[in-house]
Chains A and B, each alone.
Chain A
Amino acid sequence: MIFGFGKSKRVIGIGLDGFPYSLAEQMIDEDVMPNLRRLAVQGEMKRIKSVFPTVSGVAWSSFLTGRNPAEFGVFGFVELTRDLELTIPNYTDLKCETLWERLDDAGKRFAALSVPMTYPAPKLNGFLVSGFLAPELDERAVSNPDVLNTLREHSYEIDIDPGVAVESPEQFKEDLDRVSKARQETALALLEEDEEWDLFFLHVMDTDRLNHFLWKGRRGTEGGEDGYFWDFYSRLDGFLGRVIQAVGGESEILICSDHGFCELKWEVQLNRWLKNQGYLDYENAPAQGYKAIKPGSRAVSLVPGRIHILREDRWDAGCVSDKEYGPLRKEIMDKLRGIRHPESGEVVCRQVMKKEEVFSGPHADAAPDIIVDPCDGYDLKARLGAGHLFEKGPRSGMHTYEDAMLLTGSGLRAIQKAQNITDVGRLIAKRVL
């Protein structure tokens, strides 16, 4: 081997959805995750940022393309068409080449398990199974029928049903254990095969689900006596140990998360706020969805913290002229900065940003006009017909833009310089390709 030629360039990646850096540190300090400690000591662990809007669909699309949302054209789990119809963007809506396509083009051997926004599964020469929001495990969720057979052998499931978390917390824990176990066993079986992966990437959605619904169940917090939260991470650490063993060392292992998490105190219904302020009016007809918006409305919000100004040329029902746009946007932004919780007096919006501050690319026209980054504890929602500005929901954890994590093995120093989840995807591509 001369000057690194012929050296393996493989990466074994694990994406822990919504696993915060600060929680990783705590898990290491309290010895809940000794294998994570071992990886962090031998390699390096750092804090990285997520993307705006801070949801997994956008964050992993950024990872997959190494680009910003105005380049790949997706800004959330749902979008509105110009006639106010709700649509759910998927993999085919990504307008940039993805990591999977590039790997396939280059003839690399890769496995990609469960990464969000990979549905419908592209029919490529890799072991690929879609993640969130694939409705079920069938041919549309895999790169080829052999993959489906292997997954079924391991009783693999795409995701838990999050609806269960509210109805039955015990069932939720059972589902989470079953789904994570099958996911982990499948991943280990693939890693233990003789196949020489150039990139192996496992995405774990289960951490995000756990953090959403049981964040308050952490030890040392209110209602955290049952210990399930800690046990879950302890079992995850056991899996990391087995990965290290299967791969034969730490140096090529990468762990990253796509956003952070914090305690959710209040859900803030931005469409209620827009209505209160006179920017939005709608009929009380939930079945109609966003079609219930009445003519004359000037702004509407989508989760999380996306506000569209209803401009004449962009929306069928739009009424805001080019001349009115600038001043109206400034007025709304100024008012957003002033929102406080009536009891605690806390400010709700940490940053209120214009779209051009956040996005740049050919699809910037489709971007929300205002992006709000909330203060910790205030989760920005957008339910039409919400009765109150501040509401309580079933979830106790919410996403944060700051405090995602990246851990790189000693052989992956080039990826260590990543500042956010987009960089992580881009630098992985750079190393493997």
Chain B
Amino acid sequence: MAELRRNARQNHLTLAKQVISIALERGLQPGEHLPEQAFSEACGVSRTPMRAAFKILEENEILSWREEEGYFLETGPQDGLTEAAQLLEEMEDSLATRILSDRAARRISDVQSVSALVRRYGRSRSTVLNALKILARDGIVTQLPGRSWAFQPILDTPRSIEESLQFRLILEPQAITAPGFQLDAQKAGLLRAQMQAHLQTRQGRIGSASFMRIDTEFHGFIAECSGNRFARGALLAHHRLRRATQKDLSIPDFRLRQSLEEHLDILDSLEQLQFDVAADLMTLHLRRSRIRRPEAANRGIVPLTRGPLTRGPSA
């Protein structure tokens, strides 16, 4: 029970959604009282986390609070309670996305207190905590002793992007050749259609953001099909991190198209059960995907006689 309580405390959002499920199951109507004790027992948690969950629902105008009476349902099943729950989740996700995108853009530092985030985003403590927990699920932040949270490395520098690529070169081909790879044919078909649609756009019109989306979807799909559960888990988490933090890719149109063609070739091989070929194509694709930037500059910065630069000093 103690473990259950601890878990529940760690995710007030889940609890809030559980409250909505119970309200829906019991057919509660607007104006009906939600007794703390009864809901605490129904959810298997103490009254403190239940109050936190009620507070989230109050902030989102799903419940109201009356002095010395407690919480009452404001939104009933006919008023869109299900949608409210959905919105609640999206809102939490959206704050998590904002926090992450601000970290990736270096607007906030890599160690944050909940209070600082509450001040920055003008949201309640519980809302911020829930957003942090969403990020923690993907290993993007970890809680430090005390009240601070630390961001883990994200794909925001040339060095981290290079490290990501090296990591993927080790794992992605292995994810394909590991015994038990199962291609989801229906999803493969959908991805193929999306990539072909991109290839049919006019030159220069494939946007970097939409390419990134389809790229992480494709690589995430390969991971999902892997027969090795550890490779699958590690790669899925990594692609989520890529999708969330590696947004500003600026790849020439030629390479974007070449990359999509390479995805299609990999799918072809997988559909023909040629896993070794698919793994080799994946290696080739990843090597070609190494982002190239001019690494030298003339006008005296480093004469050719002294050889090329590998990276700037920061990398």
A is bound by B: no
Interface residues of A (CB under 8 A from B): none
